[in-house]
Amino acid sequence: MPDNIGSIEEKYRETMAAFSDACRRAGRSEDEVKMIAVSKTFPAESVKQAYRLGQRLFGENYVQELCEKEQNLPKDIEWHFIGRLQRNKVKYIIDKAVMIHSVDSPVLAREISRQALLKNREARVLLQVNLGAEESKAGFEREALRRGLEEIAELPGLQVLGLMTIGPYYDNPEDARALFREMRALKAEVASWAVKGIVMQYLSMGMSHDYTIAIEEGADFVRVGSAIFGQR
Ligand SMILES: *Cc1c(COP(=O)(O)O)cnc(C)c1O
Protein backbone atom coordinates (compact mmCIF):
# COMPACT_ATOMS: atom_id res chain seq x y z
CA MET A 1 0.00 0.00 0.00
CA PRO A 2 1.41 3.40 -0.94
CA ASP A 3 0.16 4.59 2.46
CA ASN A 4 2.99 2.83 4.18
CA ILE A 5 5.74 4.26 2.08
CA GLY A 6 7.57 7.22 3.49
CA SER A 7 7.88 8.85 6.86
CA ILE A 8 5.10 10.45 8.87
CA GLU A 9 6.60 13.76 7.81
CA GLU A 10 6.20 12.97 4.12
CA LYS A 11 2.71 11.60 4.56
CA TYR A 12 1.69 14.55 6.71
CA ARG A 13 2.92 17.04 4.15
CA GLU A 14 1.13 15.21 1.34
CA THR A 15 -2.05 15.10 3.38
CA MET A 16 -1.86 18.79 4.20
CA ALA A 17 -1.28 19.61 0.54
CA ALA A 18 -4.33 17.59 -0.52
CA PHE A 19 -6.30 19.21 2.31
CA SER A 20 -5.34 22.69 1.09
CA ASP A 21 -6.20 21.82 -2.51
CA ALA A 22 -9.60 20.52 -1.47
CA CYS A 23 -10.31 23.70 0.53
CA ARG A 24 -9.32 25.80 -2.46
CA ARG A 25 -11.50 23.78 -4.86
CA ALA A 26 -14.40 24.11 -2.44
CA GLY A 27 -13.83 27.85 -2.03
CA ARG A 28 -13.41 27.39 1.69
CA SER A 29 -10.91 28.94 4.04
CA GLU A 30 -8.38 26.56 5.58
CA ASP A 31 -9.25 27.97 8.99
CA GLU A 32 -12.85 26.92 8.77
CA VAL A 33 -12.13 23.26 7.99
CA LYS A 34 -10.26 21.28 10.63
CA MET A 35 -8.22 18.16 10.13
CA ILE A 36 -8.12 15.76 13.06
CA ALA A 37 -5.15 13.39 12.95
CA VAL A 38 -6.50 10.03 14.09
CA SER A 39 -3.72 8.48 16.13
CA LYS A 40 -5.52 5.44 17.54
CA THR A 41 -3.24 2.42 17.96
CA PHE A 42 -0.17 4.51 17.07
CA PRO A 43 2.41 5.23 19.76
CA ALA A 44 2.88 8.58 21.45
CA GLU A 45 6.06 9.00 19.41
CA SER A 46 3.98 9.15 16.21
CA VAL A 47 1.77 11.82 17.75
CA LYS A 48 4.88 13.78 18.67
CA GLN A 49 6.14 13.65 15.12
CA ALA A 50 2.90 15.10 13.78
CA TYR A 51 2.89 17.63 16.62
CA ARG A 52 6.35 18.85 15.63
CA LEU A 53 5.02 19.43 12.13
CA GLY A 54 2.33 21.68 13.58
CA GLN A 55 -0.63 19.34 14.06
CA ARG A 56 -2.65 20.10 17.22
CA LEU A 57 -5.95 18.22 16.80
CA PHE A 58 -5.81 14.49 17.41
CA GLY A 59 -8.53 11.86 17.45
CA GLU A 60 -8.70 8.74 19.59
CA ASN A 61 -11.16 5.84 19.73
CA TYR A 62 -10.23 4.14 22.97
CA VAL A 63 -10.64 5.66 26.41
CA GLN A 64 -7.52 4.27 28.01
CA GLU A 65 -5.36 5.21 25.07
CA LEU A 66 -6.66 8.76 25.06
CA CYS A 67 -6.02 9.09 28.79
CA GLU A 68 -2.45 7.84 28.53
CA LYS A 69 -1.59 10.04 25.59
CA GLU A 70 -3.25 13.07 27.14
CA GLN A 71 -1.15 12.64 30.24
CA ASN A 72 2.16 12.21 28.44
CA LEU A 73 1.91 14.60 25.52
CA PRO A 74 1.92 18.41 25.22
CA LYS A 75 -0.98 20.17 26.91
CA ASP A 76 -1.92 22.28 23.92
CA ILE A 77 -3.11 19.23 22.01
CA GLU A 78 -6.88 19.10 21.45
CA TRP A 79 -8.09 15.55 21.93
CA HIS A 80 -11.24 14.53 20.07
CA PHE A 81 -12.98 11.37 21.11
CA ILE A 82 -14.37 9.67 17.99
CA GLY A 83 -14.94 6.03 18.96
CA ARG A 84 -17.74 4.06 20.48
CA LEU A 85 -18.09 5.23 24.06
CA GLN A 86 -19.33 3.04 26.87
CA ARG A 87 -21.33 4.81 29.50
CA ASN A 88 -19.17 3.59 32.37
CA LYS A 89 -16.08 5.17 30.79
CA VAL A 90 -17.41 8.67 30.21
CA LYS A 91 -15.99 9.78 33.55
CA TYR A 92 -12.43 9.13 32.38
CA ILE A 93 -12.51 11.39 29.34
CA ILE A 94 -15.01 14.07 30.30
CA ASP A 95 -12.28 16.55 31.26
CA LYS A 96 -9.77 15.40 28.62
CA ALA A 97 -11.64 15.42 25.32
CA VAL A 98 -12.50 18.83 23.89
CA MET A 99 -15.25 17.20 21.85
CA ILE A 100 -17.03 13.85 21.76
CA HIS A 101 -18.02 13.10 18.15
CA SER A 102 -19.79 9.83 18.77
CA VAL A 103 -22.90 10.37 20.88
CA ASP A 104 -25.22 7.69 19.59
CA SER A 105 -28.01 7.49 22.17
CA PRO A 106 -29.89 9.59 24.73
CA VAL A 107 -28.65 7.33 27.53
CA LEU A 108 -25.04 8.03 26.64
CA ALA A 109 -25.84 11.75 26.43
CA ARG A 110 -27.41 11.61 29.87
CA GLU A 111 -24.26 10.13 31.37
CA ILE A 112 -22.11 12.74 29.63
CA SER A 113 -24.35 15.43 31.08
CA ARG A 114 -24.10 13.92 34.57
CA GLN A 115 -20.32 13.66 34.47
CA ALA A 116 -19.95 17.14 33.00
CA LEU A 117 -21.99 18.59 35.86
CA LEU A 118 -19.89 16.70 38.41
CA LYS A 119 -16.76 18.25 36.92
CA ASN A 120 -18.42 21.61 36.48
CA ARG A 121 -17.90 21.60 32.73
CA GLU A 122 -19.86 21.91 29.55
CA ALA A 123 -19.30 18.92 27.28
CA ARG A 124 -19.18 19.68 23.56
CA VAL A 125 -20.66 16.87 21.53
CA LEU A 126 -21.75 15.80 18.06
CA LEU A 127 -24.52 13.32 17.40
CA GLN A 128 -23.46 10.36 15.34
CA VAL A 129 -25.88 9.46 12.60
CA ASN A 130 -26.11 6.26 10.62
CA LEU A 131 -27.79 7.42 7.43
CA GLY A 132 -27.21 4.17 5.61
CA ALA A 133 -28.79 2.31 8.56
CA GLU A 134 -25.80 -0.01 8.43
CA GLU A 135 -26.11 -2.78 10.98
CA SER A 136 -22.44 -2.67 11.91
CA LYS A 137 -22.45 1.05 12.63
CA ALA A 138 -23.55 2.99 15.64
CA GLY A 139 -25.53 6.18 15.41
CA PHE A 140 -29.03 7.56 15.19
CA GLU A 141 -31.03 6.46 12.22
CA ARG A 142 -32.84 9.25 10.47
CA GLU A 143 -36.24 8.50 11.97
CA ALA A 144 -34.87 8.49 15.52
CA LEU A 145 -32.84 11.65 15.21
CA ARG A 146 -35.43 14.30 15.96
CA ARG A 147 -36.77 12.66 19.05
CA GLY A 148 -33.26 11.88 20.33
CA LEU A 149 -32.18 15.43 19.68
CA GLU A 150 -35.13 16.89 21.57
CA GLU A 151 -34.38 14.67 24.52
CA ILE A 152 -30.68 15.51 24.53
CA ALA A 153 -31.33 19.23 24.10
CA GLU A 154 -32.90 19.30 27.56
CA LEU A 155 -29.78 18.02 29.29
CA PRO A 156 -27.65 20.48 31.28
CA GLY A 157 -23.87 20.52 30.97
CA LEU A 158 -23.88 19.34 27.40
CA GLN A 159 -23.85 21.31 24.16
CA VAL A 160 -24.78 19.65 20.86
CA LEU A 161 -22.76 21.35 18.12
CA GLY A 162 -23.48 19.23 15.07
CA LEU A 163 -23.45 15.82 13.45
CA MET A 164 -20.91 13.12 12.72
CA THR A 165 -21.02 10.11 10.44
CA ILE A 166 -18.84 7.19 9.43
CA GLY A 167 -19.66 6.40 5.83
CA PRO A 168 -19.25 3.05 4.14
CA TYR A 169 -15.92 2.28 2.51
CA TYR A 170 -16.07 2.56 -1.27
CA ASP A 171 -13.24 1.51 -3.58
CA ASN A 172 -13.96 4.66 -5.52
CA PRO A 173 -14.07 7.57 -3.05
CA GLU A 174 -16.33 9.48 -5.47
CA ASP A 175 -19.07 7.09 -4.42
CA ALA A 176 -19.03 8.65 -0.95
CA ARG A 177 -20.07 12.04 -2.30
CA ALA A 178 -23.81 11.37 -2.29
CA LEU A 179 -23.80 10.46 1.40
CA PHE A 180 -21.75 13.53 2.32
CA ARG A 181 -24.25 15.65 0.42
CA GLU A 182 -27.06 14.01 2.28
CA MET A 183 -25.32 14.81 5.57
CA ARG A 184 -25.05 18.43 4.63
CA ALA A 185 -28.75 18.53 3.80
CA LEU A 186 -29.51 16.84 7.10
CA LYS A 187 -27.50 19.45 8.98
CA ALA A 188 -29.61 22.16 7.35
CA GLU A 189 -32.79 20.27 8.07
CA VAL A 190 -31.92 19.81 11.75
CA ALA A 191 -31.04 23.50 11.97
CA SER A 192 -34.46 24.30 10.52
CA TRP A 193 -36.16 22.42 13.37
CA ALA A 194 -34.75 25.12 15.63
CA VAL A 195 -34.65 22.88 18.69
CA LYS A 196 -33.81 25.09 21.65
CA GLY A 197 -30.26 24.55 22.88
CA ILE A 198 -29.03 22.84 19.71
CA VAL A 199 -26.45 24.48 17.46
CA MET A 200 -25.78 22.98 14.04
CA GLN A 201 -22.29 24.31 13.54
CA TYR A 202 -20.21 21.29 12.59
CA LEU A 203 -20.24 18.27 10.33
CA SER A 204 -17.61 15.64 11.13
CA MET A 205 -17.18 13.35 8.11
CA GLY A 206 -14.55 11.98 5.76
CA MET A 207 -11.56 9.73 6.49
CA SER A 208 -8.25 8.96 4.78
CA HIS A 209 -9.68 7.69 1.51
CA ASP A 210 -12.40 10.30 1.04
CA TYR A 211 -11.67 13.42 3.14
CA THR A 212 -11.05 15.64 0.12
CA ILE A 213 -14.53 14.85 -1.15
CA ALA A 214 -15.99 15.42 2.31
CA ILE A 215 -14.38 18.87 2.36
CA GLU A 216 -15.91 19.68 -1.03
CA GLU A 217 -19.29 18.62 0.32
CA GLY A 218 -19.20 20.65 3.52
CA ALA A 219 -17.24 18.80 6.21
CA ASP A 220 -16.04 21.00 9.06
CA PHE A 221 -13.96 18.25 10.65
CA VAL A 222 -12.27 15.49 8.67
CA ARG A 223 -10.75 12.56 10.57
CA VAL A 224 -7.60 11.31 8.91
CA GLY A 225 -5.59 8.41 10.30
CA SER A 226 -3.81 6.02 7.97
CA ALA A 227 -2.98 8.64 5.34
CA ILE A 228 -0.80 10.34 7.97
CA PHE A 229 0.40 7.52 10.21
CA GLY A 230 0.32 4.50 7.88
CA GLN A 231 -1.72 1.33 7.97
CA ARG A 232 -2.85 0.12 11.36
C1 LIG B 1 -10.14 5.08 12.58
C2 LIG B 1 -11.14 6.14 12.36
C3 LIG B 1 -10.91 7.20 11.47
C4 LIG B 1 -9.67 7.30 10.61
O5 LIG B 1 -9.66 6.29 9.65
P6 LIG B 1 -8.54 6.25 8.48
O7 LIG B 1 -9.17 5.44 7.42
O8 LIG B 1 -7.35 5.61 9.09
O9 LIG B 1 -8.30 7.63 8.09
C10 LIG B 1 -11.86 8.18 11.36
N11 LIG B 1 -13.01 8.13 12.08
C12 LIG B 1 -13.27 7.13 12.94
C13 LIG B 1 -14.54 7.15 13.70
C14 LIG B 1 -12.36 6.10 13.09
O15 LIG B 1 -12.65 5.10 13.93
Q: For residue 139, give the nearest of 204, 89, 62 by alpha carbon.
A: 204
Averaged confidence pLDDT in the chain: 95
Residue 214: CB within 6 Å of ligand 1? no
Confidence (pLDDT) at 1:
45
Ligand 1, atom nearest to 82 Cα = 13
Ligand 1, atom nearest to 229 Cα = 8
Confidence of residue 142 (pLDDT cuts 50, 70, 90): very high
pLDDT above 70: percentage of residues in the chain: 98
Residue 137: CB within 6 Å of ligand 1? no
Confidence (pLDDT) at 133:
75
CA of 61 to the centre of ligand 1 (A): 9
CA of 169 to the centre of ligand 1 (A): 11
Residue 158: CB within 6 Å of ligand 1? no
Mean pLDDT of the region 204-215: 98
Ligand 1, atom nearest to 232 Cα = 8
pLDDT at 6 over 80: no
1, 12, 82, 126, best to mutate for ligand 1 pocket (most atoms within 8 Å of CB) = 82
CA of 39 to the centre of ligand 1 (A): 9
Provide the whole-model pTM. 0.96
pLDDT at 206 over 60: yes
Mean pLDDT of the region 74-85: 98
pLDDT at 196 over 90: yes
Mean pLDDT of the region 152-159: 97
**Range name among 1-10, 49-58, 125-134, 171-180 with the lowest pLDDT average:** 1-10
pLDDT above 90: percentage of residues in the chain: 94
